[in-house]
Amino acid sequence: MHSLDLFDTTTRENIAAWLDGPYGEETKNEIKRLLTENPKELEDCFFQRLSFGTGGIRALMGVGTNRLNPFTIQFATQGVANYLKKIYPSPKDRSLKVLIGYDNRNNSSLFATECARVLAGNGIKAFLFEELRPTPLISFGCRLLGCQGAIMITASHNPPAYNGFKVYGSDGGQVLPPYDQKIIDEVALVRSPTDVKIASFDHPLIEKILAKLDRAYLDHLFSLNHWERQNKKEGKQLKIIYTNLHGTGLTLLPQALSDWGFTSISYVEDQKSFDGNFPNARVPNPEEPEALKEGIQLLMHKKADILLATDPDADRIAAVILHQEKPIILSGNELASLLLYHICSSLKEKQQLPANGAVVKSIVTSELFNAIATGFGMNCFDVLTGFKYISQLVEQWSQTQEYTFVLGAEESYGYLAHTFARDKDAISTGCLIAEMALRAKLENKTLFDLLLQLYAEYGIYQESVFSAIYPEGKEGMKQMDKIMTALRKNPPRLFGNAELLFLEDYLESCAFDLISKKTISLSLPKSNVLRFWLDDNSKIVIRPSGTEPKIKIYVGVVEKNVFHIQEQIKMCKERTQALLQSVKSFLFKS
């Protein structure tokens, strides 16, 4: 067996604490095995404690302080319990309540049960879903049940080896800074299983819940139905293919679509099972064409109108349409723009467009979204990547009434068009996509035809994204830090043939005008993100992922003078690729 002296002080202390502490023989034997067979992996398992990213904790499952396992889940939940007790000290008229949900991933049900046991052990009422359910239902249920918080066990669209721990506040939105750090601070004080208060599985403070939340949520969806009579009468004409990619969307989306009148649904049978190994969707991410391959084959075979695909926890949704007998995958940006136009035009036609309407997008999302909003007299707000920042504005406006929230969107297929939940919602969005596609079909059009109409009216916008992958663990983090530092200290002045005019550095909360040499303060929270604006109105955003070892590059170009739309779309796509190549050259040179 190798010696613990191989590791730095922190790693060595973390390993020793687990070998000497009350962690069970199975856990200790796994540590000893890794020490002998794979000390590098053991180092990655213990070199740090888990921390919050843009979506809470998301990590590989396994043994150690840097992995999700029953012990780290208990530690995190104890930290949440301690935090809640400090925020709500000695409530006299009510007990603390937390809702817990989970997806189809391996160990999700086990982790959710451990959360409930710890909460109950701390005297907190734990509503535990009897079965797996989508993330938006947990956000909705948190609000409906008057809970002080909620926990969702999910790793969204990550590979099968991952799981996650998302924490929500009383408003149903994910916890924001500085509260996420306060929870982490509480978790850091939980050093051993002896610091965890844990109850039995049948403790009276653990209550199983399911059916009433399903029906309440589905009933709320009717408020989003812009053309209810048409949907009910003609909805069966829209031929839909649906894949849940082995995830939770199957529990609610088919019923929601049927309730609205969309009853012609076929399924990708190989991807229906709730299997955490994702045997027929190895990358269960609707952003990846590979995940959509089987669905597209069925779409073409049945000559259906549209394929809908949701990720494992059903907060993201992708769409593929059949246009002139060819499948077209709509990007997250295109879908966001189509949804915004559909909602705004429907409200305008019914004379229900709010005078103080507002929409929200992440800084990496298409500027076409902004152009459409402006065209309808809407206010458009940019926020950092992470849907919690969209939810923050929804909650703020619900209190101040300053704006009426209409739609929030992220380019990664995350959308919210209502206020009864506070996280992105693939179920409600799926219904709106179907409504939008039906109206197009009744006019002998597809969603691609509608997209071309948007380009003709607002200009051609094209976007592309690339992820530079780095090693897991400490080495990968060092490489990413080095590259982001180099970009800050010495940014390229030319990207392809375009000159850099304006640089926004969200870590420093400053924007730099390279022409006037002026520095402007930024109002958004600090984050390791850089946004570049170029002299041809292109934009580039570069940021490390908060949950995976990758640096993400987003580019967007625009052509306002539209005359040969198909040729110009091709030219814009070529410009995005040239910009991506320019950035990649810098990253890999660094």
Count of beta carbons in the 10 Å neighbourhood of residue 376: 18
Count of beta carbons in the 10 Å neighbourhood of residue 207: 14
Kindly write down the DSSP assignment for every residue of 260-325, as one continuous string: HT---EEE-GGG-S--TT-TT-SS--TTSHHHHHHHHHHHHHHT-SEEEEE-TTSSBEEEEEEETT
Q: How far apart are CA 518 and CA 502, in angstroms?
A: 10
Which SS3 state, helix, strand or coil, does residue 67 take?
Answer: coil
Name residue 98's beta-bridge partners: 126, 149
Q: How far apart are CA 73 and CA 62, in angstroms?
A: 12
Name residue 534's beta-bridge partners: 500
Helix axes 426-442, 332-349, angle to 10 degrees: 70
Query: CA-CA distances (angstroms) from residue 10 to 125, 242, 480?
Result: 36, 48, 22
Which SS3 state, helix, strand or coil, does residue 483 take?
Answer: helix
Q: How far apart are CA 283 and CA 291, in angstroms?
A: 6
Q: Is 412 a catalytic residue?
A: no
Q: Which helix (H) or strand (E) element contains residue 184?
A: helix 179-188
Q: How far apart are CA 118 and CA 131, in angstroms?
A: 19
Kindly write down the DSSP assignment for every residue of 357-415, as one continuous string: EEEEEETTS-HHHHHHHHHTT-EEEEE-SSHHHHHHHHHHHHHH-SSEEEEEEETTTEE
> CB–CB of 426/346 below 8 Å?
no
Q: Among the options 156, 366, 391, 582, which is catalytic?
A: 156
Exposure of 409 by Cβ count < 10 A (0-12 exposed, 13-18 middle, 19+ buried)? Answer: buried
Overall size of the chain counted in residues: 590
Residues 6+ apart with CB under 8 A from 202: none
Q: Which residues carry out catalysis? A: 156
